[in-house]
Chain A
Amino acid sequence: MQKILFKNIDVPDARSLDTYKSRGGYAALKKALSLPPEKLISMVEESGLRGRGGAGFPAGIKWKFLPKDRNRTIYLICNADEGEPGTFKDRHIMEFDPHLLIEGMTITAYAIGAHHGFIYIRGEYNWIAKLLMSAIIEAVTEGFVGYNILNSGFSFYIDVFRGAGSYVCGEETALMESIEGKAGRPRLKPPFPATFGLYGESTVIHNVSTLSCVPFIIEKGPEAFSKIGKPRSHGTKLFGISGHVNKPGLYEYPMGTPLRKLIYEAAGGVRGGKRLKAVIPGGLSSPILTADEIDVEMDFDSLLSIGSMLGSGGIIVMDEDTSIPMIAQKTAKFFAHESCGQCTPCREGTNMIKFLIDRIIAGKGGHTDLEQILRLCRYIKGSTICAFGAAAAMPLNAMIKKFRGEFEALVR
């Protein structure tokens, strides 16, 4: 099976530049620098690469959105905030194969005309931030990053910026506010980052996994990428499987692999021979699936068609002993805690959902409380500044609708 993101994962010391180079690293960068930037953009567009952070926006189109004026400052940001509960894919790339990301960023920067890039890494990944910084220094020393890269006349610098522990800073405009030194609160859109991003300049922002796919596409060609996976969901994806499975971990599979296969083949099935109860397929904000729904194929469209989403690919598996109301309580607590507080439906809504679920779990809730939670979920979604509101409302809505009996049993 073709590995794109995990091609070096079993190689000892893959994180050193020498090992990375001996495995063919930075060949894609050399090839990229010999091509005109427009060619690179069309290659990425043809490959059908879609954002791996959750929204699945086509990368090539994002690059084409940039103003054509080449004299404008353009920033490239790598979103390594990875705050979605159940998600742990980017840290492995950065920790064990940092040069893959650095090469992907440098190629992307050359394609879009950026000379300054940021890696916004979540604060808890302190040691990974250090590893990244030493990898960048290595790359600068050998001329893969920095001034006049490989004597091509193109210069690109990378800064590592550590977040301070906020989930919403994974939202692209909140992330930019955070780099600018302000409170991490999402901006009103429009304007979008392509025209008004970091420091008010045009900005392209990508997830770690998205950028790490770029070297493969440039080196092997867009067809090699687009023939993997399914139509409209090309390439491979890292699936982080956690919860009640025998072999929790991170697995690279083509897009469109059935969820059943991931749980029962890759992760070795449900722990202790228990029955499967529910699965969260793409990080906490993706609506929960019941055991009957796991034949779904893990790609953008298939999950959307059954009312969930691929999200970050963080799969959380729950066995028959799991209490869904308790999961809902944790979920509500998380989103109430992480809401930035800027807009009312999200700030007050997530707080109210938490209050109501706590009351239900404590045995003091009534049937109207369930109805009020569903009412909140319905109207929070789509009325907030950023996607956080929907991310909080959708999973709770699904938990109550699909496991209503369990909630009913708790209310008077």
Chain B
Amino acid sequence: MKKIALNIDGKDAQAAEGDTILNAARENGIYIPTLCYHPRTKQAGKCRICVVEVKGLPDLQVSCSLQARDGMTVNTTSERIIETRKMIVELYLSSGRHNCISCEASGECELQDAAYHLGLEKSNFPVIPKDLPVDSSSPMIIKDMNKCIQCFRCVEGCNNVVVNEVLEMGFRGGDMTVVCDTNKPMGKSSCVICGECVQLCPTAALLEKKAAGKGRTWELKKVRTTCPYCGVGCQMHLHVKDNEIIKVTGVEDAAPNFGTLCIKGRFGYDFVHSPERLRSPLIKRDGEFVEASWEEALDFTAEKLLEIKKTHGTEAIVGIGCARTTNENNYIMMKFMRAAVGTNNVDHCART
């Protein structure tokens, strides 16, 4: 890729052609705060906190959207820039219910990070009271617009990443808020509860309902794993506290899902702790399922397969693969049926 040279804060920097100023700065170790920018929803230019000055261009420029060009001179820390950033964060702190004390997002909130970065403990503007009803109609998601910072990330994610086209920014000016369909409660809308919006939300405006009150960010241990639901193999983080899964998020920078999960992967983890879950193989003896060891179970199965093969021939045996297991497992299943058992009767549960 062609490289271009630019100057950021008096330092010579290199960037890939077509890259934004924000990325160029970050790759050269220069921090620019962002709120509405997310690598997956790309340029937004909404929050304006990433503003910089570019020599020769009027006004302030948003670094998340403006392409870096060869020979550009960029300033990211002038007084005007810092004051503009402070104004923006202070306005946010004054316009919603941004109280970190018992907020679920505390510790992973991008607004909190921005305020910390700018050294703002409180807003110098008066707080305009906001008391919007919290929408908890969805079985899995809490939508609290008092904490929304109108970054459009959820809207972008819903419309352009997962393409479910449920969320949109409704109304205008200070009334602007995230709406589902034609401003329906989330639980009554066409939302399929994939949770993409929750994952993209920089604050706690969109939140996993089941995780509420279960633990703070820093108490949770992140365990990386592969989703067991289907063969796609989505990468996810289990957020665990006291050996209990509190919530699940997609791994942002890993194939194949790059952060996106479906309703099952993100919210369907209750079975892990279910007392009804099988913990050992069962063999039916005298009409009753009885617990058995793996040795016993495998021997029993092999014996029965051999018996059927001997009396009825291999065509009497069918193997059904599992849609929720991996390609590798299904390959082994196929190999086993054809090579070990000796039949071509192999199929798949999703087709039967």
- Specify which of A340, A350, A383 is in contact with B59 (CB 8 Å cutoff): A383
What secondary structure prevails in chain A residues at the interface with B?
A: helix
Known A188-B62, A339-B173: A344·B128 in contact at CB below 8 Å: no
Cα A35 to Cα B62 with chains together (Å) = 44
Known A340-B172, A341-B171, A351-B128: A383·B84 in contact at CB below 8 Å: yes
Which of chain B's residues have a CB closer than 8 A to the CB of A382?
A: 58-60
What's the least CB distance linking B96 to chain A, in Å?
A: 9
- Residue-wise interface mask of B (82-99) relative to A, using a CB-CB cutoff of 8 A (1 in contact, 0 not): 011001100110110000
Which of chain A's residues have a CB closer than 8 A to the CB of B88?
A: 344-345, 348, 383
**Max chain B Cβ within 10 angstroms of own Cβ: one of A356, A376, A379:** A379
Check B54 for interface membership: any CB of A closer than 8 A: no
What secondary structure prevails in chain B residues at the interface with A?
A: loop
Which of chain B's residues have a CB closer than 8 A to the CB of A375?
A: 83, 87
- Specify which of B87, B152, B169, B172 is in contact with A349 (CB 8 Å cutoff): B87
Cα A376 to Cα B88 with chains together (Å) = 10
What's the least CB distance linking A57 to chain B, in Å?
A: 14
A377-409, CB < 8 A from B:
378-380, 382-385
Check B46 for interface membership: any CB of A closer than 8 A: yes
- Specify which of B43, B51, B150 is in contact with A383 (CB 8 Å cutoff): B51
Which of chain B's residues have a CB closer than 8 A to the CB of A350?
A: 173-174
Check A308 for interface membership: any CB of B closer than 8 A: no
Would B174 and A341 count as touching, CB distance under 8 A? Answer: yes
Which of chain B's residues have a CB closer than 8 A to the CB of A343?
A: 45-48
Number of A-B contacts (CB under 8 A): 101
Check B215 for interface membership: any CB of A closer than 8 A: no
Check B328 for interface membership: any CB of A closer than 8 A: no
Check A154 for interface membership: any CB of B closer than 8 A: no
Chain B residues with a Cβ closer than 8 Å to the other chain, count: 35
Known A336-B174, A345-B87: A355·B128 in contact at CB below 8 Å: yes
Would B174 and A351 count as touching, CB distance under 8 A? Answer: yes
Check A352 for interface membership: any CB of B closer than 8 A: yes
Check B175 for interface membership: any CB of A closer than 8 A: yes
Known A351-B95, A355-B128: A344·B48 in contact at CB below 8 Å: yes
Which of chain A's residues have a CB closer than 8 A to the CB of B43?
A: 188
Would A347 and B150 count as touching, CB distance under 8 A? Answer: yes
Check B126 for interface membership: any CB of A closer than 8 A: yes
- B126 nearest in chain A by CB position: A355
Cα A356 to Cα B47 with chains together (Å) = 22
Would B80 and A379 count as touching, CB distance under 8 A? Answer: yes
Check A342 for interface membership: any CB of B closer than 8 A: yes
- B96 nearest in chain A by CB position: A348
What's the least CB distance linking B49 to chain A, in Å?
A: 7
Would B124 and A166 count as touching, CB distance under 8 A? Answer: no
Check A372 for interface membership: any CB of B closer than 8 A: yes
Would B124 and A348 count as touching, CB distance under 8 A? Answer: no
Would B176 and A347 count as touching, CB distance under 8 A? Answer: yes
A321-373, CB < 8 A from B:
336-345, 347-352, 355-356, 359, 372
Would A344 and B47 count as touching, CB distance under 8 A? Answer: yes
Would A344 and B174 count as touching, CB distance under 8 A? Answer: no
- Specify which of A342, A347, A356 is in contact with B174 (CB 8 Å cutoff): A347
- A359 nearest in chain B by CB position: B126
Check B65 for interface membership: any CB of A closer than 8 A: yes
Check B125 for interface membership: any CB of A closer than 8 A: yes
Cα A376 to Cα B46 with chains together (Å) = 17
What's the least CB distance linking B76 to chain A, in Å?
A: 14
- A350 nearest in chain B by CB position: B173
Which of chain A's residues have a CB closer than 8 A to the CB of B95?
A: 348, 351-352
What's the least CB distance linking B340 to chain A, in Å?
A: 59
Check A55 for interface membership: any CB of B closer than 8 A: no
Check A27 for interface membership: any CB of B closer than 8 A: no
Would B126 and A344 count as touching, CB distance under 8 A? Answer: no
**Max chain A Cβ within 10 angstroms of own Cβ: one of B46, B62, B173:** B173
Which of chain A's residues have a CB closer than 8 A to the CB of B171?
A: 341
Check A183 for interface membership: any CB of B closer than 8 A: yes
B10-53, CB < 8 A from A:
43, 45-49, 51
Cα A333 to Cα B125 with chains together (Å) = 18
Would B49 and A352 count as touching, CB distance under 8 A? Answer: no
Which of chain B's residues have a CB closer than 8 A to the CB of A356?
A: 125-126
- Specify which of A339, A344, A348, A383 is in contact with B60 (CB 8 Å cutoff): A383
Which of chain B's residues have a CB closer than 8 A to the CB of A340?
A: 172-173, 176
**Max chain A Cβ within 10 angstroms of own Cβ: one of B46, B49, B65, B174:** B174
Which of chain A's residues have a CB closer than 8 A to the CB of B48?
A: 343-345, 383-385
Cα A380 to Cα B88 with chains together (Å) = 9
Known A344-B150, A345-B84, A379-B84: A352·B172 in contact at CB below 8 Å: no
Which of chain A's residues have a CB closer than 8 A to the CB of B173?
A: 336-341, 347, 350-351
Which of chain A's residues have a CB closer than 8 A to the CB of B128?
A: 351-352, 355
What's the least CB distance linking A161 to chain B, in Å?
A: 19
Would A339 and B125 count as touching, CB distance under 8 A? Answer: no
What's the least CB distance linking A92 to chain B, in Å?
A: 29
**Max chain A Cβ within 10 angstroms of own Cβ: one of B92, B124, B172:** B172
Q: List 21 A-B contacts (CB under 8 A).
A: A337-B173, A338-B173, A339-B173, A341-B173, A341-B175, A341-B176, A342-B46, A343-B46, A344-B46, A345-B84, A347-B176, A348-B88, A348-B95, A348-B174, A351-B173, A352-B95, A372-B125, A375-B83, A379-B83, A383-B48, A383-B60
Known: A341-B174, A351-B128, A385-B45. 5 other contacts (CB 8 A): A341-B176, A344-B149, A351-B173, A352-B94, A376-B87
**Which A residues are within 8 Å of any B CB, using their own CB?**
166, 183, 188, 336-345, 347-352, 355-356, 359, 372, 375-376, 378-380, 382-385
